[in-house]
Amino acid sequence: MGGKNSTFQTLINPEKDVRNTHVHGISNRMLTRPEVPKFGELIPILLQYVWSRQMDGKPVLWVAHNGRTFDVPFLIFEFRRCKMEMPGSKLSSVSLEKLREHYKIPITGSAHRAMQDVTTLCYVLQKLTFELKLTVPQLLEKSFRVSDLAASRPEK
């Protein structure tokens, strides 16, 4: 699934109370520990990681199972709140749960936790691109850009 150092995960202090602890198991106490970064502190680390994965002349592909309705709008809002612009990389969005079931990919950790979702999504993406015989350029053609959502969503 991409080799050594191909994944990145961290909790983020949202600087407000977290909801839905019963779904994801993440509590306010977990997020307010001193070593948990706030989003503004995380942006440089995240961008460094993303750009370190980029190959010369190739686009960075961000893949999210709930990208259009949650992940990308969340990232756009947080980047703007920190007075930064989110890179306009392309993204592909699919329903993770349905694809996981379709491809019979077992859950090996806690559902609704980032690394489990990322791991599942890696397997889904491999199976999906193989099944559809998609090349990377074709996959990028079917993706949407951050700017597509940023332009269509009002500022909060």
Catalytic residues: 112
The CA-based diameter of the chain, rounded to the nearest angstrom, is: 46
Alpha-helical runs (H) found in the chain = 21-24, 28-31, 39-52, 72-81, 96-102, 114-131, 136-141, 146-152
Residue type, 126: Q
What predicted TM-score, i.e. pTM, was given to this entire model? 0.55
Residue type, 121: L
Is the separation of the CB atoms in 105 and 129 below 8 Å? no
Backbone angles phi, psi at 128, to 5 degrees: -65, -50
* Residue-level pLDDT at 150: 64
Mean pLDDT of the chain: 79
CATH number 3.30.420.10 is the correct assignment for the domain at 21-152: yes
Closest CA to 143 of 80, 55, 86, 68: 68
Neighbours of 44 (CB within 10 A): 11
Domain edges within the chain? 21-152
Pair of tokens at residue 105: 């990919």
**Between residues 111 and 15, the one the model is more confident about:** 15
Q: Which residue is it, tokens 């920190």?
A: 82
- Cβ–Cβ < 8 Å for 79, 86: yes
Model pLDDT, residue 37? 95
Residue 1 has a pLDDT of: 44
Tens of pLDDT, residue by residue over 94-134, are 567 777 887 888 887 776 677 888 888 888 888 877 777 77
pLDDT tens for 41-79 read 999 988 888 778 777 766 666 777 677 788 888 888 998
